[in-house]
């Protein structure tokens, strides 16, 4: 594609001797205009002075159509358009704010509360309160009237239990605390603490084992404390047998006496 040239004013040729007496040449004048205001161009295809009949842009290149031969010649280039400013106001496209990161915590991620069960459990017997119930179906306590520390363990067991929760993964620590509770008659209170821990860590192996051992020792101690009801029963049986024997002996003697009487 050829680039058209815009013609300037015609300057007559002069010899070098004459040029020395002349002042410097003025700057080229703008291209001559037609009556319609369009610039006159020299078409490089037909070599004619012509007035463009039409203009069009192809990318950044501006083309003019020659009125003599109909050919297209390049007359310039377009400068890149400045970036359009962003709209402001109620119709402006505002990007939505980033969504906050959602972190889902399970009961296992929360720290263990040593002496208080979760709100969905009875504060007294540590039984689950199903369906958002406020009255425990097992012990009948009103969970809405729970008082902090009302069912707390004795100080001896309380301090030892805190130390066990801090050092939970050592089985020997569990065994030592169970022996301490057995020695001081606190197996029931220790079993309740294990239930509180299991309410917060439902699948903990050491809590299950500790509760099972405490339950076994508590049942054994209760059986030993219970009175032996079989002894009075054995005594009554012996007395009954003696009475029956005496009655039998009396009947035999009476029969023998009756047989000796004359008929």
Q: Residues 188-243: pLDDT tens digits?
A: 999 999 999 999 998 899 999 999 999 999 999 888 877 655 566 666 777 777 66
- Judge if 3 and 50 occupy the same domain: yes
In a domain, 46, yes or no: yes
Which residues lie below 8 Å from residue 81, measured CB to CB, with a gap of 6+? none
Asked whether residue 128 is assigned to any structural domain, the reply reads yes
The token duo for 155 is 């100080």
Q: So what's the pLDDT on residue 165?
A: 92
Question: 197 with 165: CB under 8 angstroms?
Answer: yes
Instruction: Kindly state whether residues 117 and 216 are assigned to the same domain.
Output: yes
Between 104 and 47, residue with greater pLDDT = 47
User: How many domains are there within the chain?
Assistant: 2
pTM (2 d.p.): 0.49
| pLDDT for the residue numbered 42 | 76
How far, in Å, CA of 137 to CA of 125, rounded? Answer: 10
CA angle 82, 85, 88 (to 5 degrees): 175
Evaluate whether 101 touches 90 at the Cβ level (below 8 Å). Answer: no
Which pLDDT tens digit goes with each residue over 57-74? 787 787 878 877 877 877
Q: Which of 4-13, 167-176, 200-209, 216-225 has the lowest mean pLDDT?
A: 4-13
User: Is the domain of 125 the same as that of 218?
Assistant: yes
Range of the domain at 3: 1-7+30-78
| DSSP annotation of 142 | B
Q: Are residues 153 and 206 in the same domain?
A: yes
Tokens of 83: 């970036």
Measured CA to CA in angstroms, residue 20 lies from 10, 23, 175 at distances of 20, 8, 121
Place of tokens 């520390």: 149
253 lies in a domain? no
Q: Phi/psi of residue 24, each to 5°?
A: -55, 145
Q: Are residues 55 and 117 in the same domain?
A: no
Residue 116 and residue 70 share a domain: no
pLDDT at residue 12 is higher than 60 = no
**Are 207 and 135 in the same domain?**
yes
Q: Do 121 and 213 fall within a single domain?
A: yes
Q: Is residue 90 part of a domain?
A: no
Q: Does 44 share its domain with 131?
A: no
Q: Is residue 37 part of a domain?
A: yes
DSSP string, 5-73: EE---------HHHHTTSPPPPPPPPPPB-TTSPBPEEETTTTEEE--SEEEEETTEEEEE-TTT--EE
Residues 46 and 115 in one domain: no
Q: Look at strands 48-50 and 41-43 and give their pairing.
A: antiparallel
Same domain, 50 and 120: no
* Cβ(181)–Cβ(190) below 8 Å: yes
Distance CA 6, CA 13 (A): 20
Residue 191 belongs to a domain: yes
Give the whole-angstrom CA distance, residue 117 versus residue 105. 18
Residues 69, 121 within the same domain: no
Q: Is residue 22 part of a domain?
A: no
Assigned domain for 14 exists: no
Q: 165 is written with which tokens?
A: 């929760």
């Amino acid at each position: 594609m050829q680039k058209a040239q815009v013609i300037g004013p015609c300057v007559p040729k002069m010899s070098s001797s004459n040029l020395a007496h002349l002042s410097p040449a003025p700057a080229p004048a703008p291209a001559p205009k037609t009556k319609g205001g369009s610039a006159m161009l020299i078409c490089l295809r037909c070599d004619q002075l012509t007035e463009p009949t039409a203009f069009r842009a192809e990318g950044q290149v501006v083309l003019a159509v020659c009125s003599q031969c109909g050919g297209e010649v390049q007359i310039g280039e377009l400068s890149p358009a400045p970036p359009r400013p962003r709209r402001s106001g109620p119709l402006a496209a505002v990007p939505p704010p980033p969504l906050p990161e959602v972190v889902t915590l399970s009961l296992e991620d929360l720290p263990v509360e040593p002496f208080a069960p979760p709100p969905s459990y009875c504060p007294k017997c540590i039984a689950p309160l199903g369906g958002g119930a406020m009255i425990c179906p097992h012990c009948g306590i009103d969970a809405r009237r729970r008082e902090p520390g009302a069912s707390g363990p004795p100080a001896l067991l309380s301090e030892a239990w805190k130390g066990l929760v801090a050092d939970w993964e050592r089985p020997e620590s569990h065994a030592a605390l169970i022996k301490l509770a057995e020695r001081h008659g606190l197996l029931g209170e220790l079993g309740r603490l294990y239930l509180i821990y299991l309410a917060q860590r439902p699948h903990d192996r050491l809590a299950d084992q500790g509760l099972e051992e405490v339950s076994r020792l508590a049942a054994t101690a209760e059986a030993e404390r219970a009175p032996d009801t079989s002894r009075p029963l054995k005594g009554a049986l012996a007395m009954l047998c003696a009475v029956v024997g005496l009655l039998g002996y009396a009947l035999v003697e009476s029969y023998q006496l009756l047989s000796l009487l004359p008929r």
